Amino acid sequence: MSYNITSIKYENLDLKVPLTFVLDRDVVGNIWYKELKVDNNVFKLCFDDDGTEMEGNMVDENTIEITGFEASSSYSYDTPISEIIINLCKKYKGTVKMITVWEGGDSIERIEIEKGRVINEEAL
């Protein structure tokens, strides 16, 4: 049995990244995305068939403003989008407050990143 994300909530997301981040192994690790779509300046990156995804708006031809992400699927442990968001915020000086609930509450993680710096991280 894998260890899955039950839900992930976030607020104060402020994150602009280069489109090429999807190829950056320091950010995404060994995770490959299934589908990348850019249509009418809207960016969507799907990691699996069960709803693990990231979306945003194209700021220019090389930059994305991440506006949201989802993770609640049978593959969420294999595709830890929470770790990808943390890595992106650290590398590109982003801001987010995020709570991740694992396996129905077996573990709850809270992290706050401001301008790339982790200012609060705890397991509840």
pTM: 0.84
Residue 44 φ then ψ, to 5°: -140, 130
pLDDT in tens, 65-111: 999 998 766 555 555 788 889 999 999 999 999 998 888 788 888 99
- Express each pLDDT in 3-39 by its tens digit: 777 888 999 999 999 989 888 888 887 777 788 888 9
- Mind giving me the DSSP string for the chain? ----EEEEEEEEEE-EEEGGGGG-HHHHTT---SEEEEETTEEEEE-SSSS-EEEEEEEETTEEEEEEEE--STTTTTS-HHHHHHHHHHHHT-EEEEEEEEGGGTEEEEEEEETTEEEEEEE-
**Sequence spans of domains, the chain:** 5-123
Structure tokens at 15: 């994150």
